[in-house]
Amino acid sequence: MKIGVAGIGTVGVGVIKILEQHGQLLSDRCGQDLEITAVSGRDRRKDRGVSLDGMTWYDNAVDMASDPNVDLVVELIGGSDGVANDLCRAALKAGKSVVTANKALIAVHGTELATLAEDKGISLNYEAAVAGGIPIVKAMREGLAGNAISRVYGILNGTCNYILTEMEETGGDFDAILSDAQALGYAEADPSFDVDGVDAAHKLAILTSLAFGTPVDFDSVYIEGIREISALDIAFAKEFGFRIRLLGVARKTEKGIEQRVHPCMVKKDTPIANVSGVFNAVVAEGDFVDNTVYEGRGAGEGPTASAVVADIMDIAAGRTCPTFGIPVRKMIDIPKVAVEEHVGCYYVRLNVFDRPGVIADISAVFRDEEISIESLLQRGRSPEEAVSVVLTTHEVKEAAIVKALAKIEKFDHSVGTPRMIRIAKL
């Protein structure tokens, strides 16, 4: 099988290394020799530490799709549009299977690309797009095919997980830990996609489609990042027996599907709470298999390249499957449930001046919105300086919590914006 690789950065180089080092093993396992015959990158003269001898170089990656010496295209460029999208469409229209690690592309255009692939009877594989080296796409699409999935959730971004883990272990604030993560190469110079939850949301949109057989709908994902998580929240979480993790959660309810990415408080004794550092983890809940947990490295040259090569080998061996587990024509548009409809427990932190009647006023607002307080904690006593009042609630609709906090924020004795973190029932 002759392969064209578009994008020979970290992951592309990793793919070349695996094919060089394990060529015979891969051939034995998939029944064909795998040969990279064409490549495309930004700078032809750059030393990447691997040999590109004998490979046709394309300045315009899209031209690779029409090369008769390329049977399969691997897209590692990134981005939901532009060259990456153009290349994948051109390759699929030319009858060539595509392997991609591009979560943004699949999250935004996955349904359209899947239609092109299925119309041509070829494959669109994207294992590396979700959770790096964890084979969660194959697990959802094949290993759990005998189950109806009720919920899939997990830690889908290693940068955020590293930052939250370090904040807990060192007591440091977000900005300081982010700077450390950038220095170590765990966070980009512009970390917005990671810390604002967009990267995790791309992956969650894909998992939602795999789990529930619905077209990919990235625009319906509620997204909230970790910039507002403070060392104080981390400390209070510890007191209540929680850890804070950025989770992506997709859940099927009577009203439709919830798709949300946001910080969660999770009990310390749950598997997901004990996933630390740059690791990812995904939990899938099936009706016959119960809970299955998948954990591993979610990024990096080795894990991501490993997933790309596994996809290539499936195609070389003739192992095919509908892109999202069921044919696109059989997908069902299931309504998406707004986050305001979510029912759960909440952690709330208020900054208030400690004056007579303050707690009574807060309690009255919660009473009026029919919110039941489970526990309340106040530290410090100073009428002149704001102190933290922290509480957790019993289950309530999110719209009620939002309304209550908006009222409390307007109080004369309230300082700043109240903080709310959802408590995950796992």
Pairing of strands 124-125, 97-100: parallel
Q: What are the phi and psi torsion angles at 418 (to 5°)?
A: -60, 145
How are beta strands 256-267 and 222-223 bridged, if at all? Answer: parallel
Tokens describing residue 316: 């070389």
| 68 closest CA partner among 50, 87, 91, 52 | 91
CA dist., res. 265 & res. 425, Å (int): 9
Contact 129, 206 (CB under 8 A): yes
Instruction: Compute φ and ψ for 276, nearest 5 degrees.
Output: -125, 175
Token pair in block for residue 207 = 């998992």
* Burial classification of residue 261, based on how many CB atoms lie within 10 Å of its CB (0-12 exposed, 13-18 middle, 19 or more buried): buried
**CA-to-CA dists, residue 257 to 280, 322, 332, 339, angstroms:** 23, 22, 12, 10
Instruction: Say if CB 160 and CB 247 are below 8 A apart.
Output: no
Distance CA 178, CA 180 (A): 5
71: Cβ–Cβ under 8 A, 6 or more apart, which residues?
1, 2, 3, 96, 97
Task: Please list the active-site residues.
Answer: 203
| CB-count burial class (<10 Å; 0-12, 13-18, 19+) for 175 | exposed
